[in-house]
Chain A
Amino acid sequence: MPSRAGTGDGPKARQGTPKPSFSPRARRARGHPFQSSEHMAEEHAIELQGVKKSWGDVVAVRGFDVQIRRGEFFSLLGPSGCGKTTTLRMIAGLEEPTDGRVLLEGRDVSRVPPYRRNVHTVFQDYALFPHMTVRKNIWFPLKMRGVSLAGAEERIQRVLRLVSMEGYERRLPQQLSGGQRQRVALARSLVDEPAALLLDEPLGALDFKLRGAMQKVLKDIQRNVGITFIYVTHDQTEALTMSDRIAVMRGGVVHQVGTPDEIYGRPATAFVASFIGEMNFLRGRLEAPEGTAARARVGGLEVRAGRSTVPPGTEGRDVLVCVRTERVRLNAQRHTDHEMDGTVRRIVYRGTDYEVTCSLEGQEMRAVVSAMDWDSTLSVGAPARLCFNGGDVTLFPGSEAGEIVQYTTEAV
């Protein structure tokens, strides 16, 4: 393809594109070309109102309500097929919601095609145009707004610097590594400063080490640029470490929207509890459902729970008694309000820690013991005292047992 530098409507275009500076303050002061200035302060970058999507009988998203603040790093987390990508595509305009409304900066865009929405998607496989150099790929969104290549040069350079890809302008996508393509895709989506960036498992195709590095890069860029990020991932660690807030989804249903510590510390459902972190689930029978005085019986043992989502009036029904594996200590010196005798069944060494599975009242309870604190008397078949505080226990209705994600030792 011949170079088009200098052709087209250079001067006019240059005039129409204010010099951007990638700082949140500058963005706020300048406002945005697509938003009316009157209600700038209050409105949310993105708002979903009862958004549903189905294809015939197949329901992908069953009603999503959320308000996403400007500059927020918001993650959609869930196993594959939970509807997170469909939700993202509805925000992008690549799918039309069956019902409900999508608002961008206060404007209903539910029926607006993607090319008239001021958001960009970073696709999982980057979707860089293979016949264009890095420079022309990044120029593309500006070109669509009538900016000449010469007029876009400065912004292209700035955004390349932002993703640390200076000097790669003339490369073709096929001459770049996965991580580099990722950066270019990011640059291309950022160059015309959209209201929000939609990232669809952007690190999914990268290897483990690179993914960690890219997580930091992404978070830094998001902080520097101040653009709202909607981040789709199935990786709980990624979501927890990067997000301001997370929506946890399963089967098209939003189980919980909250900050990482809310999601981790106060999971709303058994599914959330099982999907994020490592959780012990013991089957028990409810004795008292009331808030902090909740009690359940596991076999012959009584467990007091700091938290319960079980509705009142269900005494005697099945409940799930949950406690994080890292909150359970073995043969602890310090006092805890629950101490139960079990037997060690399995010990798995995981580098930084050991995961010890003990049998307790015919069920299993896992404890994570730091490698530093390893007590060498623990061995398979040996007795162990399982210690934890009732304040760390949550009760979920027994009916949610089917939603528990089966535990695997895989960390990622």
Chain B
Amino acid sequence: MSGRRISPPRTLARGIPMTVWMLLLVVIPLGYTFVTSFFQVDGLQIAARPTLKNYALFFTDPMYPGILLKSMLISLAIAVIAILAGYPLAYMVSFRVSRGRQVLFMLSIIPLWVSYLVRIIAWRTILGNKGVINSALEAAGIIREPLSFLLYNRFAIAVTLTYICIPFVFIPVYTALEKIPRNLLEASSDLGAGELRTFTSVVLPLSLPGLVTGFIFAFIIALGDYIIPQQLGGTQGIMFGNLIWSQFGFAFNWPFGAALSFILLAITVTILRLTSRFGSTEGGFLGE
């Protein structure tokens, strides 16, 4: 083991950049936010007088937990749909295609290289009153009035966030599928399993870690987003991310915003803990 021979001081030295990075960008800001969440606001000033008022406000006004719950449900739906769309795509690229596999892989992740805002505006162009869908339907004579349920509501948020999340599902699922030794599929077939049973008994369980990772990615991305609800959500489409953002942006109530952030963080971390434990017990077998 070459790693063991390195003397302790040098090992420490190696860890310094990472430690500094984590301190500066993660630990200190989070710590600051956490402390702020127990402060109060005096006019437009943050007063360093400790209080639990911010957390109490969240739990006493039913609006806040309500929005959080709705956001979680939408995010859950988005994550599920992203899995339903991304998994078959990854499966196809990994198992069914031999020629042009690289091209398909690139096509699947290329959306990640396009600016986030550009993609949001693109969806507005697709879903809007004079957008691609409405114009096409009108031209075909199927509708007279543009369909108004397409944009500025939760539907638009869900569609766009799902689209944003698909590559984040695709990548871990594809990686997990690629790791499955192909002779396991042959063995399964050889032992009497048709294609469907090979999928349910061998492929799906072995790709579960990737699926769980993809699900977590999609769920967390959806839950934390505030730009898409703002741009495409209209009046009813407020999500928890918007709530946090507005406390920092308009309301100048940083302590309350910080408290909301920490509530979201606590939920996210809990979900991560639960699912990653699930994912790793299954995923441990893929180590070799």
Contacts and interface: CB of A to CB of B under 8 A. Distances in A.
Interface of A: 1, 92-94, 113-115, 120-121, 123, 125, 127-131, 140-141, 143-145, 172, 174, 188-189, 192
B190 A92 contact: yes
Given A115-B194, A141-B192, A144-B191, A131 B206 contact: yes
A1 B285 contact: no
Contact of A94 (B181, B186, B191): B186
Interface in B154-209: 181, 183-184, 186-194, 197, 201-202, 205-206
Given A1-B205, A174-B285, A127 B194 contact: no
Nearest to A136: B201
Which interface residue of B191, B193, B197, B285 has the most chain A CB atoms within 10 A? B191
Interface residues of B, number: 22
16 contacts: A1-B205, A93-B190, A114-B190, A115-B190, A115-B193, A115-B194, A121-B190, A127-B181, A127-B183, A129-B184, A129-B188, A130-B206, A140-B188, A144-B191, A189-B191, A192-B192
Given A121-B186, A129-B202, 14 more contacts: A94-B189, A123-B187, A127-B181, A127-B183, A129-B187, A131-B206, A140-B188, A140-B191, A140-B192, A140-B201, A172-B285, A174-B287, A174-B288, A192-B192
B202 to A, nearest CB: 6
Interface of B: 181, 183-184, 186-194, 197, 201-202, 205-206, 282, 285-288
Interface of A is mostly: loop
Contacts of B286: 130
A185 to B, nearest CB: 9
B189 A114 contact: yes
A113 B186 CA distance: 11
A131 B193 CA distance: 16
B189 A115 contact: yes
B192 A123 contact: no
B195 to A, nearest CB: 9
A69 B194 CA distance: 29
A85 to B, nearest CB: 12
A125 B183 contact: yes
A98 to B, nearest CB: 19
Contacts of A125: 181, 183
Contacts of B206: 130-131
Contacts of A92: 190
A378 B201 CA distance: 66
Given A1-B205, A129-B184, A120 B285 contact: no
A242 to B, nearest CB: 22
Contact of B205 (A113, A131, A174): A131
Nearest to A192: B192
A124 to B, nearest CB: 9
B186 A120 contact: no
Q: Sort A-B residue pairs by CB-CB distance and give the 8 closest, nearest first.
A: A144-B192, A127-B187, A130-B285, A141-B191, A114-B189, A127-B183, A114-B190, A121-B190
A188 B186 contact: no
B90 to A, nearest CB: 19
A359 to B, nearest CB: 50
B184 A115 contact: no
Which interface residue of B187, B206, B282 has the most chain A CB atoms within 10 A? B187
Contacts of B192: 115, 140-141, 144-145, 192
Nearest to A113: B189
Given A115-B190, A144-B192, A145-B192, A127 B201 contact: no
A188 B288 CA distance: 22
Given A130-B288, A131-B285, A174-B285, A120 B190 contact: yes
Contacts of A128: 187
Contacts of A174: 285, 287-288
Nearest to A118: B192
Given A1-B205, A131-B205, A131-B285, A123 B186 contact: yes
B190 A144 contact: no
A127 B285 contact: no
